[in-house]
């Protein structure tokens, strides 16, 4: 089994959360600047249409895009879960084998 480097974020959940929080803060900022700035410069009576065009590129396709995105996202999620299942089971078995008795 490959040994992980001795980094605090690997073994300590507090350090993992401390390092994860600022990363997510900056990542969220990147994806929110475009739509937020668009809403600031769009007149109030046109904001809904501007958001639909920004997200879907065509106002008439908003109704069609919802079921398409839902089906594709669920299918992709199911494939990813199925693909990762074997690795998860293997990791779980390794954790049980390495853990002191009665801790898992």
Mean pLDDT by 10 residues, the chain (104 residues): 58 79 82 78 82 71 76 90 88 84 70
pLDDT at 66: 76
Tell me the CA end-to-end span of the chain in Å, nearest whole number: 20
pLDDT at 59: 65
pLDDT at 3: 62
Of the candidates 53, 35, 10, the one whose C-alpha atom is nearest the C-alpha of residue 2 is: 10
> Is the entire prediction scored with pTM above 0.85?
no
pLDDT at 37: 81
Distances from the Cα of 40 to the Cα of 29, 34, 44, 50, angstroms: 16, 10, 9, 11
pLDDT at 78: 92
pLDDT at 33: 78
**Can you state the angle between helices 62-98 and 47-56, rounded to 10 degrees?**
60
pLDDT at 64: 74
Q: What is the dihedral of CA 49, 55, 61, 63, to 10 degrees?
A: -90
pLDDT at 4: 57
């Amino acid at each position: 089994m490959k040994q992980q480097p001795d980094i605090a974020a690997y073994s300590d959940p507090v350090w993992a959360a401390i390092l994860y929080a600022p990363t997510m803060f900056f990542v969220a900022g990147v994806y929110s600047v475009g739509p937020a700035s668009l809403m600031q410069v769009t007149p109030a009576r046109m904001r809904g249409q501007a958001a639909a065009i920004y997200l879907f590129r065509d106002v008439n396709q908003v109704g069609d895009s919802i079921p398409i995105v839902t089906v594709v996202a669920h299918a992709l999620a199911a494939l990813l879960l199925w693909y990762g299942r074997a690795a998860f089971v293997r990791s779980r078995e390794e954790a049980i084998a390495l853990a002191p008795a009665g801790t898992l």
